[in-house]
Amino acid sequence: MYLPSLTALFHGYSAVTKLYVGNLPFTATEEAVRALFSKHGTVEKVSLINDRDTGRPRGFGFVEMSNADASRAMQALNGTDFDGRSLKVNEAQDRERSGGGGNRGGGPRRY
């Protein structure tokens, strides 16, 4: 597990960049993706996303690398062929999780 340095925590940034990797072949493995990205620097973590219901690959994932390595990998690998698929590689965007519960009516509840 990656833990940022105290300096990184103090300054409010992380020394690791999470990359979105799209259009992966459904046969891709974490090991194969790690090997591909390792040519451009140290890979901290690889996560390939599977469908919640079927368990089958969804064709995308995330790779975490140091900022400089991630920048190099993004430039080198975006649009390149990986097992017959043209990869889409860019910096992952945080997204709000849609979730259950909470106030569905909009606005505070009044009694």
The angle subtended at Cα 43 by Cα 40 and Cα 45, nearest 5°, is 150
Q: What integer is the mean pLDDT of 71-86?
A: 97
**CATH dotted code for 15-91:** 3.30.70.330
Q: What length is written for the chain?
A: 111
Structure tokens at 36: 């591909």
pLDDT at 93: 92
pLDDT tens, residue by residue, 88-103:
999 999 877 665 555 5
Structure tokens at 10: 């103090």
Return the HEC string of 49-87.
Answer: EECCCCCCEEEEEEEEEEHHHHHHHHHHHCCCEECCEEC
Question: What pTM was computed for the model?
Answer: 0.74
Residues 11 and 57: beta-carbon distance below 8 Å: no
pLDDT tens, residue by residue, 21-53:
999 999 999 999 999 999 999 999 999 999 999
Of residues 81 and 108, more confidently modeled:
81
